A and B are shown apart, each in its own frame.
Chain A
Amino acid sequence: MAKDKPGTIEVKSFGTHHVITQPNPLRSALLRVPESDLDDPVGRAEKALAGLSGEFKAWMTVEADRLSAAYEAVKQGGFNNETREELFRAAHDIKGDAATFGYPSAAAAADSLCRIIEHAPDLDAVPTELIAHHINAVQAIVRGRTKLDSAVVAGALSKQLRGITDEFLIHANRERPEHLEAVMAPSIVPNE
């Protein structure tokens, strides 16, 4: 859609690689504005996001119920490719979305569950309670958010779950250096 005059691609060839450059095809979308320009697209977007926030509770409930349903399927049929994938995807979505929806502790609990699914050598050998506690924690955080003391409790709950999970994963992966390194590597997302 951003249309500039047709440019030419320049290819410089070296011994092992080619470097390809072309005039910036999106240049026409870049506007030079005076320093006094008051337009604030980020502020506008933040306001629009705040306008959606009335729906976040309902969205989060849908996500938490999807996670519980995925875990029910695991309880019924055990872990197989399909149930594992769905449980991981449901937890992974909460890990990514929940903080945006105002539930950072649910995101932390879901992240901890994702780590179990990704790094446990044998999911059938993971204590059932460990996974169940994660599912219950997410549900409790989502359902109990309106209580005044819930943010502190939710934060402590997620932190405790993460500690137990890390302990389990470090022990379970003691002979698997690649996984051990991944388990112990810091996240690129800064802590709250």
Chain B
Amino acid sequence: MYRIDFNKLRFLICDDNPHMRRILRTLLHSFGAREVYESEDGATALEMYTHYVPDIVITDWSMPIFDGLELAQMIRQPESKGNPYAPIIMLTGHSEKRRVTVARDAGVTEFLAKPISAKGLYQRILNVVANPRPFIKTKTYFGPDRRRNTTNTYIGPERRGSGEVEVMQQPSLLEKARSSI
């Protein structure tokens, strides 16, 4: 059986609603997290993301000026100096399927529809810690693999082309980002 040592994780939460930030902070501290940074808008969150290099980002979607979707897109810049791989959990009042798709295509790792529950949040965090997905980079997408499952029964066009496999070794960008602060 596995459990998360929250003491070893650094969180960044971004929500313009102070009540929801308080709820999130309370939940994370109760789980055992000590380092929880907060921002009330996407622009500040991006600055804090670069400065504090959090392990996990939890963001609301709907915020003034610079929303959670834009924040996810800014983090998922493969050429950026910061860490483009951090798990992003989108916590939002939006509850339509098309929104999940839009968030997924922006590079969001997990989607959690409000109302928030301790169990729902814990499960999303456990999932990103225990089961990280590889990242996919195409001309139009950079983010966690959007295919969570493989199936041998799929019928339809294959959007990913195959080709020669080339393996490149390079230093971890995450470590590079951390060593630069």
Complex CA gap A52/B21 in Å reads 13
Question: Do A29 and B95 have beta carbons less than 8 Å apart?
Answer: no
**B115 touching A107, Cβ below 8 Å:** yes
Within the complex, what minimum Cβ distance (angstroms) separates B145 from chain A? Answer: 8
Residues on the A chain within 8 Å of B149, using CB:
none
A149, CB-defined interface residue at 8 Å: no
A14 near B163 with CB under 8 A, answer yes
Q: How far is the CB of B24 from chain A (nearest CB, A)?
A: 11
Given A1-B35, A22-B85, A29-B5, are A13 and B165 neighbors across the interface (CB < 8 Å)?
yes
Majority SS at the chain B contact face: mixed
Interface residues on B, range: 35 or more
The stretch among A96-104, A120-128, A152-160, A169-177 that forms the contact with chain B is A96-104
Q: Which A44-82 residues have a C-beta within 8 angstroms of B?
A: 44-49, 52, 59, 62-63
Contact B137 A17 (CB under 8 A): yes
How far, in angstroms, from A21 to B134 measured CA to CA in the complex?
Answer: 5
Complex contacts, A187 vs chain B, CB 8 Å: 95-96
* A96 and chain B: residue at smallest CB distance: B93
Nearest B residue (CB) for A186 = B97
With A and B bound together, what is the CA distance between A113 and B93 in angstroms?
13
B132-152 vs A: 1/0 string, CB under 8 Å?
A: 101111110000010000000
Bound Cα distance A35, B2 (Å): 9
Which B residues, 20 to 48, have Cβ-Cβ distances below 8 Å to chain A? 20, 22-23, 26-27, 29-32, 35
| Given the contacts A42-B119, A48-B27, A188 and B165 also touching, CB distance less than 8 Å | no
| A166 at interface, CB cutoff 8 A | no
Tell me, rounded to whole Å, the shortest Cβ–Cβ distance linking B11 to chain A: 9
* A33 and B6 alpha carbons, distance in the complex (Å): 14
Q: Does A148 belong to the interface (CB within 8 Å)?
A: no
Chain A residue nearest to B164 (CB atoms) is A13
Chain B residue nearest in CB terms to A52: B26
A21 CB → nearest B CB, Å:
4
Residue in B closest to A178 when the chains form the complex, CB atoms:
B98
- Contact present for B172 and A6 (CB under 8 Å): yes
- Return the chain A residue nearest B174 by Cβ: A25
Of B1, B3, B95, B119, the contact of A189 (CB 8 Å cutoff)? B95
State which residues 1-42 of A face B: CB under 8 Å: 1-3, 6-26, 28-35, 37, 39, 41-42
Task: Say if the beta carbon of B92 comes within 8 Å of chain A.
Answer: yes
B61 to chain A, nearest CB (A): 9
Q: Which residues of B contact A (CB under 8 A)?
A: 1-6, 8-10, 16-17, 19-20, 22-23, 26-27, 29-32, 35, 54-56, 62, 64, 85, 87, 92-98, 100, 113-119, 121-122, 128-130, 132, 134-139, 145, 159-175
